[in-house]
Structure 1
Amino acid sequence: MAVTLRTAILDDIAPVGHLHHRSRRSAYQGMVPDAALDTYGADAAARWWVERWSHERDTHRLTVAEHQGRLIGFTYVGPHEDGEPATGELYAIHVDPGHQGRGVGRALIRDALDTMRERRCRRAVLWVYAANHRARDFYEAGGWRPDGVGRDGWLGPVPTPQLRYALDLTVAAAEPATPAAAQG
């Protein structure tokens, strides 16, 4: 499948929020109650992304994946939230549920890691729901490993224990062995 990756522009931000909502709803089905998945709808997710991007567009990179002119995935990369020097963070990687398993996630994560390397990061981190075994398998196939740090996140009113994964960018090849698309 031919996929084009490019840096997002303002017109992409609301559609990113809608895709994020669809992706998260699909990925987290069965991990959290439906009511939690319905806490924030697609329009609320779009507004959240517009607001976030307006504050972070100078320090973060939002990359979109397109197929035949349609947005089918995205990544969001920036400095590590704890300010660790030379550490980049993959804040989000989402693929439209209808395009998962086709290599879109692999292409997006390679691009995200290349972006971190261009920014002279030596280490990459991300957070993933502990119960999201599909995403964890995807990351582990690409060389990511849990680094022993955890936190409690929230999806609406539901606690979502999360694990931090790390990858040494000085030695890592960014090619996961499995085609599953990640939801983190």
Structure 2
Amino acid sequence: MRLAKNFTLIAMLAVCTFSCTNAGDGERREYDIPKPLCKIDVDPSLYGPLFPPGESVDVTDYNDDIGGGHLSATGECIVDVDGARAIYIEIRAADSSLHSGVDFYLLNYLDRRGDVGTYTLHDARQVADRPRETWVWPDFAATSLLCASSSVDFPAIIVSVRLDWVGSEDYSEQLQDFIGPFADEQLRRIGERACTPA
């Protein structure tokens, strides 16, 4: 009886070891999470969950330093994992053409990017209202940060994050956790001359 129990336990461990090793082969992250992320210094635990499994990571930073520690109000952060696009972050200063009579810029922003149809507000969940309107989808998040004043006449700064690797998985919670702190730090680095937060 005892011999049979030991045999059963050994067989179960062997099956688990085989299946766990095979299941985990393509699901490990073998690279270090970059810190900071494109000149934006936020807690890596907020954006670590957005990074897919893989062996290597390459970050292309188009967040221009304009002097005095300030960043341009327009920029991109592109993350490739194993040579494939994984994360795309865009920062864009809104202009008066994106203003539709109310303090709402995201739909116009999506339309200008060509994302309306792919990302509609009907499929999204609003997680914050004015002055920092934020919407999340399973693989995309966008926030509109209103400017109370701007020496260059920016009514808002829009930050968006798109995950190009998740397929049908829902990463809306992880995107929600990340986009607020990232956008706040981005706005701080842009500086109050370009956009004093509302």
So what's the TM-score if we normalise by structure 2? 0.27
Structure index of larger Rg: 2
So what's the TM-score if we normalise by structure 1? 0.29
